[in-house]
A and B are shown apart, each in its own frame.
Chain A
Amino acid sequence: MTEKQLSPELFELATERQGDMEKINRPSLTFLQDAWLRLRKNKGAVFGLIMIIAITLMAIFAPIMSDRTYKQQNLQHAKLPPRIPVLENIDWLPFNGKDMNGIDVYEKRGVKEYYWFGTDDLGRDLWTRTWYGARISLYIGVLAAAIDLLIGIIYGGVSGFYGGRVDNIMQRIIEVLVGIPNLIVVILFILVFEPGIISITMAMVITGWVTMARIVRGQILKLKNMEYVLAARTLGASDARIIGKHLLPNVVGPIIITTMFTIPSAIFTEAFLSFIGLGIRPPEASLGSLVNDGYKSIQTFPHLMMIPAFVISLLILSFNLLADGLRDALDPKMRK
């Protein structure tokens, strides 16, 4: 052990750097930036997000890019199996234009064109129809979620903020609505009004907004007694301003999460309605109605059901994964 002489030069004055200790070196993050950082770490959520973006882009652009429309029929080209250039050379992939018995239908019928996902019994191109159907399914899902959001926020916000008798009455109404099975209302509504995008969406909204209203109300009830709200009130802020500027921004997390769970369930409900014959009417198509149509000929032309079924499952899965990830990212307290 060597002995070391301590000399005054080795020391520095501490006081000079005292200010630096309080310095914040990392840039401060906003709520959403923070959430995004957490979300990015969740592999499932990132996968879901990428898939949703991919399917949305395909749903928007694939029908535009294709030179066939979703309702264009060509009976000479009916019931063709899928055939995709390049992939057709790989034997074990189902994209080689061969049917169940291994016969190359394209060669037999002398079809030169490629139908990437094959065609249905009226010779409509399944590629275009699948992406067109995805467009309708997404549209219904997002629209239903958006209307739920709007009604839910207003209703829940007013009910939670004003409390007292207003809240009491509004809550009694909700309690009655909650007891009504969603499915029954949807079926009855569609029976009365012809099935279409708007009627299907409206049917889902009738009871759908209740969940959102309850969540917003619960959050507002929790937040409205906080000091900062009192401060805002003391400064003379109006009720509308307190709700819109001070309360709602703090409820954003639960609202986003609920919306993200509403979209896949709306897509599912639409598909379910199609399956019991109350969905979108042909020649229009949604993923659900395509699965339903395809199901009828599953034994002979399995691709007609498999492809839309795969897309709809992937879409719902992606939304669920993203919603799970968002729940963990936006509200670490809720994380389990």
Chain B
Amino acid sequence: MARYTLQRLIYMIITLFIIATATFFLMKLLPGSPLQNQEKLSPEQQKIILEKYGLNDPVPVQYVRYLGNLVKGDLGVSFQYDNRPVTQLIGDRIGPSAQLGFQALVFGTIVGILLGVIAAVRHNTAVDYGATVLAVLGISIPSFVFGGLLQYYIGVKLKLLPVAFWDGFEYTIMPTLALSVFVIASIARFMRTEMLEVLGSDYILTARAKGISGFGVIFKHGLRNAMIPIITILGPMAVNLMTGTLVIEQIFAVPGLGEQFVRSINLNDYPVIMGTTIFYSALFIFVIFIVDVLYGLIDPRIRLAGGKK
């Protein structure tokens, strides 16, 4: 286990290094200059500005400096917000995104598990079919379509919830719903299959034969074992929530990291794009790492391929 963890840790670092390098060189290839009103500035002024940001040095020098700063946790300064450090920018913006992601994950997991368990227990009935249809729809309808529809019908037409912006809990309800649809759908699908398999196993039969109530068997014996493999879909889920926040924050005008990222893309703010990319990647890689390690720890039946060698 320790060896496997170490191996994964090394991969994690290599992957991050490649991402950082690729990001750096792709940004160097980008068309467009970060200088605003370039034509109005005299060559001397341009030179001073470029000098200030270290953009005049040869690319290898910039690259080494960039990597060195990265190790120290310095992601550079933003062009668009007068030299504000990118780390500070990310720190300011991460709150709403994290809150949305967390709420969607918790809400989605609870609803998804319930839906999946009910579908499995009522296997091959109208309830089961209903839940299955809902789950397929949830996976298929893009989150931005769902977000737009929610905003239009609940916010604009029925005026039940605020249409957009970020000013208290009721503002988080619609974005959370829109984000959680995919979580609900994928967990429900997964839960249903796992639950069906677990409910068919011998120890469930034993438990029933011993006279434990149906409810107790389902939740104490069934659910516990059915929930283990859910850890495996946490990775794709994290990616989906990340993608989701990019569009959902746009739609609902949430001042989060996703909205900031999209804006920086449109404004050619390289340091912010680079910093956010690396931040997102690191987050993602870390989640995958944790998931892999957890999976081996939680379920002793699973012998990881790397650990056996």
Contacts and interface: CB of A to CB of B under 8 A. Distances in A.
Interface of A: 44, 175-176, 179-185, 187-189, 191-192, 264, 268, 271-272, 275-278, 291, 295, 298-299, 302, 305, 309, 312-313, 316-317, 320-321, 324, 336
A184 B19 contact: yes
- Would you list the 6 A-B pairs with minimal beta carbon distance, nearest first? A179-B15, A317-B140, A309-B145, A336-B193, A316-B140, A181-B284
28 contacts: A176-B18, A180-B15, A180-B19, A180-B281, A181-B284, A184-B19, A184-B281, A187-B265, A188-B277, A192-B26, A192-B30, A268-B142, A272-B246, A275-B144, A276-B246, A276-B247, A276-B250, A276-B262, A276-B265, A277-B266, A278-B265, A291-B144, A298-B152, A298-B156, A317-B136, A317-B137, A317-B140, A317-B141
B14 interface: yes
A314 to B, nearest CB: 8
A321 B22 contact: no
B243 interface: yes
Interface in B266-301: 266, 273, 277, 280-281, 284-285, 288
A321 B136 contact: yes
Given A175-B11, A191-B273, A275-B247, A183 B142 contact: no
Contacts, number: 106
B14 A313 contact: no
The interface centre, meaning the residue of A275, A302, A312, A324 with most chain B CB atoms within 10 A of its CB, is A275
Nearest to B276: A184
Given A188-B22, A272-B243, A317-B136, A312 B145 contact: yes
A182 to B, nearest CB: 7
B29 A192 contact: yes
Nearest to B247: A275
Contacts of A321: 136
A333 to B, nearest CB: 14
Contacts of B246: 272, 276
Contacts of B11: 175-176, 179
Nearest to B132: A44
Contact of A299 (B142, B152, B243): B152
A280 B142 CA distance: 18
B170 interface: no
A272 B247 contact: yes
Nearest to A269: B243
Contact of B148 (A192, A305, A336): A305
B242 interface: yes
Interface in B225-264: 239, 242-243, 246-247, 250-251, 262
Given A277-B266, A309-B149, A183 B15 contact: no
Given A179-B285, A180-B19, A302-B152, A291 B140 contact: no
Contact of B145 (A182, A277, A291, A320): A291
A278 B243 CA distance: 14
A191 B197 CA distance: 46
A271 B148 CA distance: 14
A336 B280 contact: no
The interface centre, meaning the residue of A175, A182, A187, A278 with most chain B CB atoms within 10 A of its CB, is A187
B142 A181 contact: no
A191 B28 CA distance: 11
A295 B31 CA distance: 29
B283 to A, nearest CB: 9
Contacts of A188: 22-23, 26-27, 277
B222 to A, nearest CB: 16
B139 interface: yes
Nearest to A292: B144
A313 B145 contact: yes
A219 B134 CA distance: 32
Contacts of A316: 140-142
Contacts of A189: 26
A271 B246 CA distance: 13
B142 A271 contact: yes
Contact of B144 (A180, A191, A272): A272
B217 interface: no
A336 B136 CA distance: 16
B114 interface: no
A332 to B, nearest CB: 15
Nearest to B244: A272
A316 B185 CA distance: 15
B115 to A, nearest CB: 17
Contacts of B12: 179
A104 to B, nearest CB: 22
A142 B144 CA distance: 22
A316 B19 CA distance: 30
